[in-house]
Amino acid sequence: MRARVVLVEDQPEIRQLIRMTLDFGDFELGEAIDADAGWSLIQKQQPDLVLLDVMMPGSMDGLALCRKLRQHPEFRSVPVVLLTARSQQRDIDAGLEAGADAYLTKPFSPMELLERISGLLKEPRAQ
């Protein structure tokens, strides 16, 4: 069965990059351009993993959505990978605190992303 991944990212170039990266594996990818759209998509697609850009326009940023997922009983255990241009430790800490399982700073290696996604899907999070 193909793993379902939802990507929430405002930059079209990055969406394209990730789409092409995920072509390496067997994934079913859903894309959203902001957090609100992402939330709707996640609820609809019930993804196995969520990729979240942190800095996005709109009422919610990635961190907020991440927290929202963690507070939701259905998505509490869905692995979340944060992608962000913010590279300071402070930002990483804030991300992990919000409940993310992985934190990748831009620019990131597509191969590494792939490995992390595969890893997270293989070993479901301990509840």
Using CA atoms, how far apart are residues 117 and 2, in angstroms rounded to an integer? 13
DSSP state of 74: T
70 vs 86, beta carbon nearer other proteins: 86
Amino acid symbol at 7 = L
Q: Give the footprint of other proteins on this chain (CB under 8 A).
A: 10-14, 16-17, 20-21, 24, 33, 55, 57, 84-88, 105-111
Could you tell me the smallest distance in angstroms from the CB atom of residue 41 to other proteins? 18
CA–CA distances in Å: residue 9 to residues 1, 49, 73, 123 = 25, 14, 24, 25
Cβ proximity of 123 and 98 under 8 Å: no
75 vs 95, beta carbon nearer other proteins: 95
Could you tell me the smallest distance in angstroms from the CB atom of residue 9 to other proteins? 10
20 vs 44, beta carbon nearer other proteins: 20
Could you tell me the smallest distance in angstroms from the CB atom of residue 121 to other proteins? 20
Using CA atoms, how far apart are residues 21 and 15, in angstroms rounded to an integer? 10
10 vs 45, beta carbon nearer other proteins: 10
